[in-house]
């Protein structure tokens, strides 16, 4: 049994397709859709799901919960589009803000409270690279959309970008790919913005193996996913819907920025307990 979060209607189409693909190759899989990642991660420790298609923040929580229990979870596979990503802080092209120091006393736009790429890692970047403390050196304006989805949607990032154009915030954070996408779709005017800061590299979603899952089944599941071929006409539509061209072996080394941010920005404690008081999901 696999768990996935229903952040958009296409999720049903995606996992129905994967279920058929795997079944045709002798691997019987079914899936459970959750409304949020917090419930999905908890299900990994009650025996409900063997695998979870987790956000990076969900990985951090699952890993912490496992360690606190003397157990382990595994990053099994990732999309090629999940590795070595960055977030950018964007300002209008004619903005007087030229450096992070110029943000003192201003308001900065972020995504949802639980967005790794548009809130947690950006808060961490401003603190560690700019010496800027939220609520003290600058004001935080979050654009909370669909709590519990960990920023899988892009609504909060788009809202923050629009607010930046309107002059409601001095700058706004978004994943670098969305900066390009917003310009392409017309949300941001071509040539009308510039990047003020860029975060370090980080990884995104990962197929997470729950504690105690059969090793042979885990190996076979990974083999089948890694064998999916972009040039296969039956497979490509599934990969396109899920936003990848190739599955890659999972890794846990790309989450260090989010690990630090989740702790220092007060989202999870070291045992994976939620400590963000205003988080609703």
pLDDT tens profile 190-201 = 899 999 999 999
Report the pLDDT value the prediction gives residue 219, as an integer from 0 to 100: 98
Check pLDDT > 90 for residue 145. Answer: no
The reported pLDDT for the residue numbered 41 is 98
pLDDT for res 231: 97
| Helix, coil or strand: residue 76 | strand
Edge-first strand listing for the sheet containing 74-79: 31-34, 2-5, 51-54, 206-209, 74-79, 247-249
- In this structure, are residues 129 and 257 in contact, taking their beta carbons and an 8 Å threshold? no
* Model pLDDT, residue 131: 98
Is the Cα torsion angle 15, 16, 22, 26 positive or negative in sign?
Answer: positive
The two structure tokens encoding residue 222: 């990974």
Q: Mind listing the domains of the chain with CATH numbers?
A: 2-82+204-252 (3.40.190.10), 87-198 (3.40.190.10)
Average pLDDT over residues 60-76: 98
| Average of per-residue pLDDT across 106-125 | 97
Mean pLDDT along residues 222-248: 97
The pLDDT of 97-112, averaged and rounded, is 98
Residue labelled with tokens 């079914």: 30
**Spatial distance between the Cα atoms of 205 and 51, rounded to a whole number of angstroms:** 13
54 Cβ neighbours under 8 A, 6+ residues apart: 37, 40, 41, 62, 205, 206, 207, 208
């Amino acid at each position: 049994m696999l768990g996935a979060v229903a952040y958009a209607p296409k999720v049903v189409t995606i996992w129905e397709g994967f279920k058929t693909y795997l079944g045709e190759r002798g691997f019987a899989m079914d899936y459970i859709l959750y409304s949020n990642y917090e419930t999905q991660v908890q299900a990994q420790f009650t025996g409900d799901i063997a695998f979870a298609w987790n956000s990076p923040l969900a990985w951090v929580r699952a890993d912490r919960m496992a360690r606190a229990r003397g157990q382990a979870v595994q990053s099994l596979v990732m999309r090629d589009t999940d590795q070595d990503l960055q977030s950018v802080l964007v300002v209008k092209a004619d903005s007087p803000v030229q450096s992070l120091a110029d943000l003192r006393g201003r308001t900065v736009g972020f995504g949802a409270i639980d967005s790794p790429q548009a809130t947690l890692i950006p808060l961490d970047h401003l603190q560690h690279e700019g010496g800027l403390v939220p609520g003290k050196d600058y004001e935080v304006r979050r654009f909370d959309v669909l709590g519990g989805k960990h920023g899988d949607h892009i609504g909060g990032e788009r809202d923050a970008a629009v607010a930046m154009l309107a002059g409601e915030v001095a700058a706004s954070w978004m994943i670098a790919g969305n900066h390009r996408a917003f310009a392409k779709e017309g949300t941001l005017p071509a040539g009308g913005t510039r990047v003020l800061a860029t975060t370090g590299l980080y990884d995104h979603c990962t197929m997470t193996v729950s504690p105690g899952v059969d090793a042979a089944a885990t190996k076979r599941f990974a083999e089948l996913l890694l064998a999916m071929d972009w040039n296969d006409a039956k497979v490509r539509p599934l990969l396109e819907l899920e936003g990848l061209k190739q599955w890659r072996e999972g890794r846990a080394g790309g989450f260090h920025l989010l690990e630090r941010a989740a702790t220092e920005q007060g989202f999870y404690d070291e045992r994976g307990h939620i400590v963000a008081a205003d988080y609703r999901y």
